[in-house]
Amino acid sequence: MGPIESSQHAGRGYGSPASLAVLDELQRLGANAISLTPFGRIWDLASTEIEPDFEWRFAETRAGIVQLSAAAKARGMRVLLVPHLWVETIGWRGDLEPGSDAAWRAYQQVYRKFVLRWADVAQAAGVDIFSIGVECKSWSGRFGDYWSSLIPAIRARFHGQLTYSANWDEADNVIFWDQLDLVGINAFYPLAGHNGASYAQYAEGAARAVAQATALGALLQKPVLFVEFGYTTRTDAAVEPWTWPDIMHDVTVDEWEQARALSALLGAAVSDPRVAGVFLWRYYSDLDDVSQEALWGFSPHGKLAEQLWSNVYGAAWAADPSAVPDAAANHGRITTLTRPE
């Protein structure tokens, strides 16, 4: 569930009545877990400062998360907390580069303070899983001493499970998986390399993607969690699924394309016993809000893709101890779609 924290949209953020209504809707669909994604802010890719406030003040966001987590757990859901970083100017956080050894040390001290502060929130909110970072691609494969110091410090503050949200093309290079409990992947895998791909080609791409992820899990002897995955509502959605909706132009909205891309990846994931679960990117903390992304965005709410979820949430996943014999049947339930006329 993405936050709506702008002062221009009061009453729609984490902990608001609107966010509780989203929980009710997700529970109706059958969800048994939810992720919360608050943000800090960096100015640009050379920044060595992190602003903890993101439109709302940190204290208000913290209070909302504690309230929303309690409400989710009262509904029988597990909770994952994933603090993100927003780049205010231009660029992707995975390309962060402060520019010198001294600047890296300064940034890492600031990041340590940032993530430990959120670990305290995770503990106070009673969440089940905490992600120690998101798409730190430019530095998750180095600075081993730093990560080996940070992770025990996080465990001293937060007593649940730990993961990390690696970009799909970063995961094999992360050097600290052995210190975490789950291999977390932001699974925006391209399912095809060209436009106009058939569903069979999407399914083949999904099988390769899940096999790549679970091979890493097998090597590390840890379960795999798709901390984020999703597709936008447009033609050829699974070719470059990471493309942000705000930068698209002349988009053809296509609900069927979103649905079949989600179906392909879920069909592969449900049948693999090393995939512990998936978190769809994403709903927002007000079902009726249309300010956060365009119609061709990632949200499945009110679209054809949403009809998949009763099957997805009701499926017996291969990772469930009692469900292995039924995994193939459930694969069929998820991947059998009929295109509406």
Nearest CA-CA partner of 78 in 35, 119, 120 = 35
**At residue 213, does pLDDT exceed 70?**
yes
- Region 267-292: mean pLDDT is 91
Instruction: Specify if 202 maps to a domain.
Output: yes
Beta bridge partners of residue 2, listed in sequence order:
284
What is the DSSP annotation of 126-178?
Answer: T-SEEEEEE--TTTTTS-HHHHHHHHHHHHHH--SEEEEEEETTTGGG-S-GG
Instruction: Specify if 340 maps to a domain.
Output: no
pLDDT in tens, 28-81: 999 999 999 999 999 999 999 999 988 788 999 999 999 999 999 999 999 999
pTM of the predicted model as reported, rounded to 2 decimal places: 0.94
- Write down the residue that tokens 């979820």 correspond to: 309
Instruction: Specify if 182 maps to a domain.
Output: yes
Average pLDDT, the chain: 92
What pLDDT, on a 0 to 100 scale, did the predictor assign at position 108?
Answer: 98
Strands (E), 151-274: 161-167, 183-186, 224-229
pLDDT in tens, 114-152: 999 999 999 999 999 999 999 999 999 999 999 999 999
Nearest CA-CA partner of 131 in 225, 32, 229 = 225
Bridge pairing between strands 33-36 and 84-87 = unpaired
User: What gap in Å lies between CA 95 and CA 266, rounded to an integer?
Assistant: 29
- 237 and 261 Cβ atoms separated by less than 8 Å: yes
Instruction: Specify if 76 maps to a domain.
Output: yes
What is the DSSP annotation of 81-94?
Answer: E--EEEESSSS-GG
User: What gap in Å lies between CA 104 and CA 58, rounded to an integer?
Assistant: 25
- Write down the residue that tokens 């969800």 correspond to: 31
Instruction: Specify if 2 maps to a domain.
Output: no
**At residue 263, does pLDDT exceed 80?**
yes
The CATH number assigned to the domain holding 127 equals: 3.20.20.80
Confidence of residue 321 (pLDDT cuts 50, 70, 90): confident
Instruction: Specify if 86 maps to a domain.
Output: yes
Q: How many independent structural domains does the chain possess?
A: 1
- Write down the residue that tokens 């691609």 correspond to: 137
What pLDDT, on a 0 to 100 scale, did the predictor assign at position 323?
Answer: 55
- Region 1-15: mean pLDDT is 79
Alpha helices, DSSP H, located in 10-126: 17-29, 58-74, 101-125
- Region 157-174: mean pLDDT is 98
**Angle (CA) 142 146 149, round 5°:** 140
Give the residue numbers spanning the domain of 149: 7-335
User: What gap in Å lies between CA 143 and CA 81, rounded to an integer?
Assistant: 24
**Share in percent of the chain as helix, strand, coil (round to 5):** 45, 15, 40
Instruction: Specify if 185 maps to a domain.
Output: yes
What pLDDT, on a 0 to 100 scale, did the predictor assign at position 11?
Answer: 77
Instruction: Specify if 341 maps to a domain.
Output: no
